[in-house]
Structure 1
Amino acid sequence: MKMERRRKGREGMEKMEKGEMKVDLSGMSLSSFPSTSLNLASITQLDLSNNNLQSIPESLTARLLNLIVLDVHSNQLNSIPNSIGCLSKLKSLDVSGNLLESLPITIENCRALEELNVNFNKLTRLPDTMGFELMNLKILRVNSNKLAFLPFSASHMTNLRILDAHLNCLRSLPDGLENLINLEVLNISQNFQFLQTIPYSIGLLMSLTELDISYNKITVLPDSISCLTKLKKFSAEGNQLVCPPMSVVAKGVEAVRDYMGARMKKAFKSNGRASKSWFGRLVKCGAFDGQMVQQNEGLLAPEYEREYHSFDGTPSRLIGKFSPLRLFSPKRSKRKKEHLRR
């Protein structure tokens, strides 16, 4: 067995492809990173998964300057070194299946990061400001943790395609959810008694194709669900839904859209100014039938038309860039002050 591990170690260290060095040391029962004469800066992919690592030396990650993929899933890690922030080229980080209670704030310096997997840990929170910097993130998997909230800054991750936060303790989704205009898959199932409502802004997630809200304590869905025209897969079992009733949900996505759409039209006619702001947003983003709005006796007041005038003709992919959340973020203000001082 030891000889097999040594052989695999040598092979893993020596594998070269197209000028990239891929080091595979997975499944070797390692408790520490082995000594090596390799130039660590030449490694682009490092697999240390399925070992017994309890820590990663700060000095190790600080020297992996060209690393693109780091996989340390299924170890015994209690922390990630602060020097993770030195990995400016890192695109994929998998730290799932460890004992992490937090992530270092320096992770926001990994601005090239496209995929982050922290499933099956003990996280109670994510870094508050990570979303301001991780603008290239496309996949965020945080399921099977103890998260009560996602950070407010998560609404700035406008390139996000997949957000998996099931099996947590989520009380709500972050404000500014509508900024995630490229989100295709949202899984917030199995937050059980903690998650009781879905924000109305979910209707602006125009790219959403899969939505899983099963096994929560949700009783009423927002009418804006009817605006998710690309939604193909919808799961809501395990809730106590009364609107729409589960008998409608059982008929599929189209039945849910029709039911909630009828409620939306009725609400638009009767609720007056209180709901017009959201209707204005839905119309301008193409999520709601503009002709229907015009037919309803001019109920969309001029002030609401002016409110969204700046988005007229703006491609939906650019809307997030003009979000007040982004324009007035603490990070942006800080960078502006630093620029002025120079």
Structure 2
Amino acid sequence: MSFFNGGEQRKDPIQLIQFEETFQRLEELIQKTDSGNTQMDNLINLEYPDEEIDQNREIIDGILMKFAENENLQSNSVDVPIIPQVFAGRGCTKKMSLMEVATLFENYDKTGASVLDLQGRLMAEVEWLPLSLVKLSNLTEIDISKNEIMALPSDVGELKALKKFDIHSNQLINLPRSIGELTSLTDLDLHGNRLKSLPASFEKLVGLVNLDLSSNFFTQLPDSIGNLSSLEKLNLDKNELEELPSAIGSCTYLVVLQVNFNRLNSLPEAIGNLVNLEILTVRYNRVKNLPETMCNLQSLEELNSSFNELESVPDCLCSMSSLKVLNIGNNFVDLKSLPRSIGNFSMLEELDISYDQIRVLPDSFRFLSKLKVFFADGTPLEIPPEIIKLGAQAVVQHMAELVDKRNRFPNRILKGRRGLWSCILSCFCLDEVVPAQRS
């Protein structure tokens, strides 16, 4: 029996029985579709979720939408389930169930809202989004980051107005083919998922400006990455990449390229085509040599190739007149010298050669008039510690004085703290200038 507070009975008790039956059906389907880690293991070997899962999702979606349509049930009925009103946004910390998300989407569909923010808002059991998401045609920004989402709706490409899509820190294993239909997309953040490959349709995202694929499981990138002609920032950190495709040289609008913590053995010659590149970081790889074509990167302001296996630095690199930060430290025992023309880095403000085997600074070092930071920890350089403590310009001045002494006393040999040196070209930490012994 059903009781109502008030003179008017709003809902037929028969409808309550239908709700109860629907709830039971919904619970059974959710348990069948949402099988936790087992579901994850099944999806790892699939390019796309299987048909049964998609069918179940559609059935559940239909049920959820029925509830969403009845969200205005009168609260004075003690037997009728009430769908709670939910709000999305950073200010709300309540975790949302799948049913609440469906209700939210129904509200968004009615109001025509353009921004959906569900960052960290979903219960751990919510591993996919209701298919009704794709009906929210006014959405321009979606943030569903920091959840446990395993799959996106297969028709996500219908969100034609979408410009920013943040899906970082989820459990995505694959991307749907339709993602290539998001032709208005400019920002896509996929870092911190379980992706190993990109669908062929990805090459259609020619409007992408910022793309973050870091902290995934990519072992290679498709050549089609070169079709992303508008790309300005590409983050590939913390993957398993052994090489970059030559096609990346076609992304000529790239300003920032990050490929740290991978397995690169080299950089492609085509990297020299990235004439607008300002920041290039390839830390923690296995790179032994930098290609000569990098000398074409006249817009480069920061180059970080620390923690590699560099044997040398191309002398022509010093033609990069815009370079402000150069970090070639921690290249183990391989890197033993700096380019002779390092003084051509007229804009250089920071230089790091820490834990390299560099013993001698080139004469041109004295021309680095804008150098503010100089790291040389763990190197065999014979520069007095008290001079290094005074800062980068003190080292520059020290080099200038050494060169001046050599010019004034070309026929002298010098006595240093670590013994007699045969040539002033390799002397640092000088105590005194002594007359050369004559035979």
TM-score by length of 1: 0.73
Q: Pick the structure with greater CA Rg.
A: 2
Aligned to 1:155: 295
Tell me which of 369, 393, 396 is aligned to 1:254.
393
User: What is the Cα deviation at residue 54 of structure 1?
Assistant: 0.9
Aligned to 2:189: 47
User: What is the Cα deviation at residue 249 of structure 1?
Assistant: 2.0
User: What is the Cα deviation at residue 61 of structure 1?
Assistant: 2.5
Aligned AA (2:401):
A
Q: Distance in 2 between matches of 1:38 and 1:90?
A: 15
**C-alpha contact 2:334 2:357 (8 A) present in aligned 1:** yes
Q: Deviations over 1:28-53 (max 9, x none)?
A: 11110135477322211111110001
Does residue 234 (structure 1) correspond to residue 234 (structure 2)? The answer is no
Does residue 184 (structure 1) correspond to residue 313 (structure 2)? The answer is no
Aligned to 1:24: 166
**C-alpha contact 2:163 2:187 (8 A) present in aligned 1:** yes
Structure number with higher helix proportion: 1
Aligned to 2:228: 87
Q: Distance in 1 between matches of 2:321 and 2:179?
A: 46
Aligned AA (2:196):
Q
Does residue 195 (structure 1) correspond to residue 335 (structure 2)? The answer is yes
Q: Deviations over 1:198-240 (max 9, x none)?
A: 1121111011111111111111111221111111111101111
| Larger relative contact order (CA 8 Å, sep ≥ 6) | 1
Q: Distance in 2 between matches of 1:222 and 1:216?
A: 15
Stretches of structure 1 lacking an aligned partner (at least 5 in a row)? 272-342
Distance change in 2, residues 1:256/1:38 (3 Å): closer
Q: Count matched residues.
A: 268
Does residue 64 (structure 1) correspond to residue 187 (structure 2)? The answer is no
Does residue 119 (structure 1) correspond to residue 260 (structure 2)? The answer is yes
User: What is the Cα deviation at residue 128 of structure 1?
Assistant: 1.6
**C-alpha contact 2:248 2:270 (8 A) present in aligned 1:** no
DSSP-derived class of the 1:262 partner: helix
Aligned to 2:238: 97
Identical columns (%): 38
Q: Deviations over 1:63-82 (max 9, x none)?
A: 11111111000000001110
TM-score by length of 2: 0.57
Aligned to 1:263: 402
**C-alpha contact 2:180 2:202 (8 A) present in aligned 1:** no
Q: Distance in 2 between matches of 1:270 and 1:89?
A: 58
Distance change in 2, residues 1:69/1:10 (3 Å): farther
Aligned to 2:148: none
Aligned AA (1:111):
T
